[in-house]
Structures are given as structure tokens and as C-alpha cells.
């Protein structure tokens, strides 16, 4: 009986040599481990990276405290300074709410801490501080997407409006 006849006359289930099975299993295991290694080494460090909104929240609280402290020094601008303080506090609160949401907190944590006002002595210095806050917010907004980008961009625009409208 020839080899061709013996192969064609085989009617049982198809079998694979044990070595082939072991090679395939080893290759599958190797690919699986390689996939896990790549996933473990991915650059998604979202749990360990610092949220860029934290610095913006601190800056907003600092600006609010500075504006509030300047009310006594510039009583003729009290309305504008109070409005700036109120808006910047609202900005910080919005950032804190978004930070808590992104971190998976079920309720917004009270991250508001007392901030000492900057020793700003002139309205020009406050304008400069608000312009810097606007630039920082715009820079961060360009790196974000979706709601976070919109929130940050809106805060930056509000800082620009505060300088242009409330502190002309």
C-alpha cells in the first residue's frame, strides 16, 4: 500500500501531530503575553497624571481672593472687583466639579481651600494676572476635547472679558 493510498483511505477524524499542537499553543501564549505587556506599558497614565484643570482651579481661586482683597483699596471699583471675584470663584467651582467627575467621584468634593490673595497693589497688576489666567486657560483648552475644552475655553474668554469690560 502506498502512502497516497493510506492517506486517502483514512476515514477517522483528522488528527494533528502533538508537536504542531504545542507549537500553536506556545505561539498563542506568546502573543497573548506580548499583548498584555504592550497594554501594561501603554502611555495612558490617566490615573497617574495630574489633571490640568487643578492648576486652573487654583489660579481662579487666587484671582478671586486677590480681587476681593482689592475692594477696600479701590472702593470706586468695588462693583467690578466683586464681580470678578464672584466669576472667578464660579470658574474654580466649575473646574472642581469637572475634576471630581473625571476622577469618578459620586459627589463633588470640597476642594475649595482658603487662598491668600496675591500682594497685587494696582489694577494694572490685576489686569496682568487675569490676562495670564486667560492665556493659561486657552493653552490648556487646546490640549483638551469635548466638554472640558469648552469649559476651559469659556473660562479663558471670561477672563479676557473681565479685563476688557470690567477693568478698562
Show the domain range for 100.
52-166
**Sign of the torsion angle spanned by Cα atoms 117, 53, 149, 86:** negative
41 has pLDDT over 60: no
Same domain, 31 and 79: no
> How many domains is the chain built from?
2
Same domain, 33 and 95: no
**H/E/C letters for each residue in 28-41?**
HHHHHHHHHHHHHC
Q: Which long-range contacts (CB under 8 A, 24 or more apart) does 93-98 make?
A: 94/151, 94/155, 95/53, 95/54, 95/56, 95/57, 95/60, 95/151, 95/155, 96/57, 98/53, 98/147, 98/148, 98/151
For residue 106 the three cell numbers come to 459620586
Mean of pLDDT values over 94-122? 75
Same domain, 27 and 94: no
Same domain, 56 and 119: yes
Distances, alpha carbon 131 to alpha carbons 40, 46, 87, 125, 137, in Å: 41, 29, 15, 10, 10
Same domain, 73 and 153: yes
164 has pLDDT over 50: yes
Rounded Cα–Cα distance for residues 91 and 145 (Å): 18
Same domain, 29 and 87: no
CA-angle at 11, arms to 7 and 17, nearest 5°? 60
Nearest Cα to Cα of residue 167 among 119, 130, 116, 133: 130
98 has pLDDT over 80: yes
Same domain, 32 and 57: no
Same domain, 86 and 21: no
- Mean pLDDT lowest among 69-73, 107-111, 148-152: 107-111
Same domain, 27 and 97: no
- Domain assignment of residue 4, yes or no: no
Same domain, 106 and 134: yes
Rounded Cα–Cα distance for residues 95 and 97 (Å): 5
Same domain, 106 and 142: yes
- What's the pLDDT band for 19 if we cut at 50, 70, 90? confident
Amino acid at each position: 500500500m502506498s502512502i497516497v493510498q493510506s492517506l486517502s483511505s483514512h476515514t477517522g477524524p483528522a488528527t494533528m501531530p502533538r508537536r504542531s499542537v504545542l507549537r500553536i499553543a506556545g505561539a498563542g501564549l506568546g502573543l497573548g503575553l506580548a499583548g498584555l505587556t504592550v497594554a501594561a506599558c501603554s502611555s495612558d497614565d490617566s490615573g497617574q497624571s495630574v489633571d490640568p484643570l487643578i492648576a486652573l482651579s487654583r489660579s481662579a481661586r487666587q484671582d478671586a481672593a486677590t480681587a476681593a482683597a482689592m475692594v477696600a483699596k479701590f472702593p470706586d471699583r468695588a462693583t467690578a472687583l466683586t464681580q470678578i471675584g464672584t466669576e472667578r470663584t464660579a470658574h474654580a467651582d466649575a473646574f472642581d466639579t469637572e475634576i471630581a467627575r473625571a476622577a469618578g467621584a459620586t459627589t463633588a468634593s470640597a476642594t475649595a481651600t482658603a487662598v491668600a490673595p496675591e500682594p497685587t497693589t494696582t489694577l494694572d497688576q490685576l489686569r496682568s494676572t487675569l490676562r495670564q489666567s486667560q492665556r493659561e486657560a486657552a493653552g490648556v483648552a487646546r490640549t483638551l476635547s469635548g466638554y472640558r475644552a469648552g469649559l476651559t475655553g469659556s473660562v479663558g474668554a471670561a477672563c479676557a472679558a473681565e479685563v476688557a469690560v470690567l477693568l478698562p
